[in-house]
Structure formats: structure tokens, C-alpha cells
């Protein structure tokens, strides 16, 4: 899978997470490293919206900034996930296509759990109409 990856300040966990993604066969065609959080979120979101990547992962200290920035891109549904249950819900009910994480307190074990759940979960077919509404909202701006 092609994954756009970005972080505003590189950490040991983010390095390990990128290596893990590569080691498990994922491509990282877009990597935005050590850039301001608005740029990280926006460029990761743009890569997903333009089909350069299937999904995105964006990280900043609280995760909030990159989430806001990514969601400025029409077609992006970025979700800040603090655990695997949140990641599952983000995909299942919202078809989130950008996973955002808070680097504050993030461990590689937690990051992998969240990411794996995000990747393994598919949208609930009963939510398709709700997700289509988001596309309509994107176009109304």
C-alpha cells in the first residue's frame, strides 16, 4: 500500500514507524519530515486526495494541528486516534483516509497497534450514505 507519511519533528518512534512500514511492504511515496505542522498535515492530505497515496499518516505533538490541516483538503477525512479502538471506529464509521497521531507519549508498540487496526478495518457498508454526505459538503465550500 502507498502511504503518505509526515511528522513535524522527527522522533525515534517516527523513525521506527517508517522503518516498520517499509519492512512490512508499504511504499512511502510522500514523506514530509521536520516541516511545520500545517505543511505536514496539508501535504499528507493532498497526497491522499490526489491518489498519490492510498492513506496518510500525519504526526505532531498533540496531533490536533495536523488533523486540522489535513482536513482542509477536500476529500480528506483525517482522524486523530489515540488507541486501536478509535482507529477502528474512524475507519468503520467514517472511512477515515488519514490517520493522525500525537507524538506526545507515543510508543512504537502503541503506534503499531493503532496503525494495524486502521489498515485492517474497512468501512461499514451501512455508513456509505453518511460518508457520501461529506463529499457533498466538500463541494459546497
pLDDT digits (tens, 9 = 90+) for 85-131: 999 999 999 999 999 999 999 999 999 999 999 999 999 999 999 99
Output 99 or 138, whichever has higher pLDDT: 99
Across 34-133, the runs of DSSP E, i.e. the strands, are: 55-60, 78-80, 98-102
Res 140 pLDDT > 80: no
Q: Which option is the CATH number for 2-139: 1.10.357.10, 3.40.1400.10, 2.40.160.20, 3.30.390.10?
A: 3.40.1400.10
Identify the three-state secondary structure at position 56.
strand
pLDDT value of position 138 = 84
Q: Count Cβ atoms within 10 A of the Cβ of residue 33 and give its class: 0-12 exposed, 13-18 middle, 19 or more buried.
A: middle
Query: 0.85 exceeded by the pTM?
Result: yes
pLDDT in tens, 4-62: 999 999 999 999 999 999 999 999 999 999 999 999 999 999 999 999 999 999 999 99
Quote the pLDDT of residue 141.
64
The residues that are catalytic are 60
Amino acid at each position: 500500500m502507498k502511504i503518505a507519511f509526515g511528522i513535524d519533528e522527527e522522533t525515534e518512534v517516527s523513525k521506527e514507524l517508517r522503518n516498520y512500514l517499509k519492512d512490512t511492504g508499504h511504499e512511502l511515496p510522500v514523506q514530509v519530515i521536520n516541516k511545520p505542522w500545517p505543511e505536514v498535515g496539508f501535504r499528507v492530505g493532498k497526497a491522499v486526495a490526489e491518489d498519490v497515496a492510498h492513506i496518510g499518516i500525519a504526526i505532531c505533538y498533540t496531533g490536533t494541528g495536523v488533523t486540522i490541516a489535513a482536513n482542509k483538503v477536500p476529500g480528506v477525512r483525517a482522524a486523530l486516534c489515540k488507541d486501536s479502538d478509535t482507529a477502528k471506529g474512524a475507519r468503520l464509521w467514517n472511512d477515515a483516509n488519514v490517520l493522525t497521531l500525537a507524538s506526545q507519549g507515543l510508543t512504537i508498540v502503541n503506534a503499531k497497534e493503532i496503525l494495524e487496526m486502521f489498515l485492517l478495518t474497512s468501512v461499514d457498508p451501512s455508513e456509505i450514505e453518511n460518508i457520501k454526505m461529506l463529499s457533498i459538503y466538500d463541494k459546497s465550500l
